[in-house]
Amino acid sequence: MKTRDRKKGIKKEKDKIKEREKKVKTKKKPKKTDVVIDSDSLLSKDSEEMIIENKRRNDSVKKIKTRNRKKDRNRDSGERKKKRGIGKKILIIFLGFALCCVALAMAFFLYIVISTGNFDPEALKNQDQTLILDKDGEVVTTLGAQKRESVHYDDLPQVLIDAIIATEDSRYYQHGGVDLARFIKASVLQLTGHTDAGGASTLTMQVVKNNLTDNSQSIIRKFKDVYLSVFFMEKKYTKEEILELYVNDSCLGGTVYGVEEASKYYFGKDVSQLTLPEAALIAGMYQAPNRYNPYKNPEAAYERRKTVLSLMVRHGYITKEEEQMANAVPIESMLKESSTEEDYYQGYIDTVVEEVERVTGNSPVAVSMKIYTALDRNIQEGLNKVLSGEAHDWEDSEVQAGIAVTNVNDGTIVAIGAGRNRTAGDWNNATQSHRQPGSTAKPLFDYGPGFEYNDFSTYTLFNDEPWGYTNGPSINNWDFGYEGLITLRRALSYSRNIPALKAFQS
């Protein structure tokens, strides 16, 4: 009985297990977090709690990841907004700077227009001559337009036109008054400290500078030249007329103005008769007329002429063979013999012209003036005789001198000995050599007052001995020796320093 009941119980258990297996088979496929219970085992309570905890942990991880992704998106969005903000600020600053530059440029241009004033064509015409008068009111010389011999464009030889264009303004017939590329380049170089960059002035701008603006080197004047050249000169005059104005009013050495006068002064011929080497020489002088003066600096004039001829070859005006033939002509062989009579008062005239230009800012050659001077012809002629060797024997022609004679009553300059063997515009030894006078000071400041106030004579005695200035420092003679008791005559003759100082102290 017990055995039969046990078998029935086992059978019931098996039937229950089979029913559970059927139910399990009919269920959907479990998710990753579901637990599959097979027929041989059941989950304990702890296992269920573990599954729940794992599920909670997985949910927390998902939430953290989602939150981190949101933070990353927010951070990226913030960085992008920050970058866009910086870009906007930079753009605003750049636009503001650009607007300021435009406003300043417009204001500067407006200032140039207002300060330049009206264009005056009459200023381009020849003015009355400048008169330089001596102390008695007599005319010493004349300067200016009436001294020039103006020429028409048709009288200019083509070789001279080509030489000037090639040297001074190679794109003259292409630009409208200003060569913009050259002008910008020269302006930038000058602003960066390259003072030798040149001004890039066209022929038109040089005509304006010579006649309508001043001779200052300021950037203001340069832009005035540009304004007048572009908006007036090039609109009113043809290229030929502008070139005619240029060759007639440019300085070509000292008081020589215009190509006709220069041609006669240097070569003794009309401008229409100039040859290639002569035309190249004149064209080269426009840059620095006194530096390339063939009488004064024949070697510098030769090198400058070579440059002009080379430029003419580069721009296609002459051939290489013509360049070589022109370079073979010596400078001295082209020049006429210089006249010294016309330069008799030239040292004094150069001094007057220099002072007038410094005081007024205008050249007396370009602007008509009447200049009254203190020139004493008798004293000036005496200086000329000394310098020429007529009244004094010089060791050789290389020895130079500079003399300025002043009126002791009012300090006016009555005569100038600018130097020996010089021409117009040469170095003025009397006014341009800014050096200390050396031993020349001894008769002027030491012995001269002694003769006037202390009854000195040529035999006044001085003790040549160790000595010093009143405030202590000692001095020496040129030979670092002493001669003892000597006369004023010997002290001055041998340029002794200590007797001179004693004379001054007395």
**Number of alpha carbons in the 13 Å side-chain half-sphere of residue 277:** 21
Burial class (CB in 10 A: 0-12, 13-18, 19+), 484: exposed
For residue 403, the surrounding DSSP H or E stretch is: strand 403-406
The question of whether 218 is a catalytic residue gets the answer no
User: How far is it, in rounded angstroms, from Cα 375 to Cα 378?
Assistant: 9
> From CA 236, how far away is CA 230, in angstroms rounded?
10
Amino acid identity, position 185: K
CA-CA distance, 172 to 168, in Å (whole number)?
Answer: 9
C-alpha to C-alpha distances, 372 to 141, 342, 356, 381, 384, nearest whole angstrom: 12, 20, 11, 19, 21
Find all residues with CB under 8 Å of 299, minimum gap 6, and list them: none
Give the active site residue among 150, 168, 261, 278: 168
Strand partners for 142: 131
CA distances from 455 to 115, 180, 441, 447 (A): 63, 73, 19, 10
Q: Is 381 a catalytic residue?
A: no
Residue with tokens 């001095």: 475
Cα angle: 464, vertex 442, 480; to 5 degrees: 40
Which residue in 437, 344, 422, 410 sits closest to 382, CA to CA?
344
**Tokens describing residue 372:** 């009254």
Query: How many whole angstroms separate alpha carbon 248 and alpha carbon 173?
Result: 19
Distance between CA atoms of 57 and 378, rounded to whole angstroms?
A: 124
- Report residue 24 as tokens: 């399990």
- 200-220: b (≥16 Cβ within 10 Å) or e: bbbbbbbbbbbbbbeeeeeee
Q: Is 472 left (phi over 0), alpha (psi -120 to 50) or beta?
A: left
CB 323, CB 309: distance < 8 Å: yes
Q: Check: CB of residue 257 under 8 Å from CB of residue 365.
A: yes
Catalytic residue of the set 77, 272, 433, 439: 439
- Give catalytic residue positions: 168, 439
